Amino acid sequence: MIKKAIFFIVLFYAQFVFAADSYIGGIVTVDGVQLTQDTATGYTFVVTDAFGNPYDPAAEDMDGLDGSQWYYITIPIYDEVSQPGGAKEGDTAIIHVYKDSKELKVKSPGNGEFTVPNASETKQIDLEIEISPPKADAGPDQIIEEGTTVTLDGSNSLDNKGVKSYLWEQIIKQRPVVSDPSVTLEDSSLSVTTFLPPRLSKNQTEQIYTFKLTVTDEDGNESSDEVNITVKNNGIRLYDDQPSDLITFKSSTGYKMGIQVSGGTLTALYPRSEDYIKDNANKPKNFIYGLLDFKIKITPLEKASVTIYLPNAPSSTGYKWYKYTSATRWIDFSKEKLKDKDDNGAAFNGDRNQVTLTIRDNSSYDDDATEGIIRDPSGLGISSGVVIDSSGITSGCFINSLGNLELNTLYSKILAFFTSIF
């Protein structure tokens, strides 16, 4: 009350002596709750011109609310001699509200704008501040098996005006057994993103990854949430001396497989059924391993090499690696077939138990239009109309072809069954 009394005493004398200042004051509510002296710690109030330039002398209240729970600001009125840096009566000014040096959104008056009172005039301007920070939601903790794509989903994050931006960050922690290896996210600025965990060591039972999601609203308010991803060892070892960067997994048909990438980083791997792609025009048959749908993050316009390990693959050269894109549809992706100047294509090793795919980003063989991301749905199959028998590729009557295809399909199912056991 003392501060308020002094305010009006100064105002009374100013009318007769100085007549060079105007005054504003009022109550302050934040998200509908009125501030008091006890809750206004850290709040300051500053008036500038419409362009954000401060007045001289400064128009501000830096010591919080008084006993009547009001803020008070003295605005210097322009005088060519005594106050050339003052405000002009009737001009538009802006009141800025800060909490711990961070500017807050003034909801009322709109954007903090008001008309400068006349000299010696006092205007009550109550302030409504809207903070309403967003609420980040990084999703529930997950437990997945090695070789499985992890999806980080922050789409349930909320804000009263809408979330403006997302940021995923891996929190590297020192665990009791081993520190966290770093991973590559497909895009850390999306609400939903993916990564493929590195392979666990032979004797490692699990690995925990921690990620922090930070969301920001239009007013610059932030909120964070964390999620833990526990990756369990899948127990798949294709070779005793398999490469350390070989990621093992099971195909959609139950085969144990492996994949290794150079020139980029796998961010997603999805074993698919051959029915995943509905385009049946010239679609190959007998996809023993189903289809592999993967994404690679890479330097834009560069190429990546992907080696896929195919234990127990049929030795017949009638099996080719077939690829599908929306541009090319189904094609034999063999290098000798494509003769591509950028070296795109698939090449088998001598034992035909490995195939290496070369794909350049944004080429016609990349099924993702985003620069820096390669996508490839493809698989091992045989062309429709081609028949495989013990001597290799043959062509015959419809009945013979049907019989051979049925036997070959039965063979692949039996092989998959025993592979899944051992």
- Give the pLDDT confidence score for residue 62 in this predicted structure: 93
Confidence grade of residue 408 (pLDDT, cut at 50, 70, 90)? very low
328 pLDDT more than 90 = no
For residue 319, pLDDT beyond 80: yes
pLDDT score for 202: 83
The Cα 228–Cα 171 span in angstroms is 10
218 token code pair: 């239009």
Enclosing H/E stretch for 95: strand 92-99
Average pLDDT of every residue of the chain: 86
User: Tell me, what's the pLDDT at 238?
Assistant: 87
Place of tokens 């001598």: 350
Question: Does the pLDDT of residue 106 top 90, yes or no?
Answer: yes
The two tokens of residue 97 are 């509200």
What's the pLDDT at 168?
Answer: 98
pLDDT digits (tens, 9 = 90+) for 208-229: 999 999 999 887 888 999 999 9
**For residues 100 and 391, which has the higher predicted lDDT (pLDDT)?**
100
pTM of the model: 0.69
Residue 16 scores a pLDDT above 50: no
Amino acid identity of 133?
P
What pLDDT is recorded for position 406?
A: 42
* Contact in structure between 8 and 66 (CB atoms under 8 Å): no
Question: Is residue 191 over pLDDT 70?
Answer: yes
In the structure, what pLDDT confidence band is assigned to residue 11 with cuts at 50, 70 and 90?
very low
Alpha carbons 330 and 221: distance in angstroms, whole number: 49
pLDDT number for residue 405? 38
Cα–Cα distance for residue pair 43/37, rounded to 1 Å: 10
Q: Check: CB of residue 55 under 8 Å from CB of residue 87.
A: yes
How many helices and strands, by DSSP H and E, does the chain display?
3, 30
Higher pLDDT, 157 or 242: 157
- The residue length of the chain stands at 422
295 phi and psi, to 5 degrees?
-125, 140
Asked if 242 contacts 258 with a C-beta cutoff of 8 angstroms, the reply is: yes
- Domains, the chain, with CATH or none: 2-130 (2.60.40.10), 132-233 (2.60.40.10), 236-422 (no CATH)
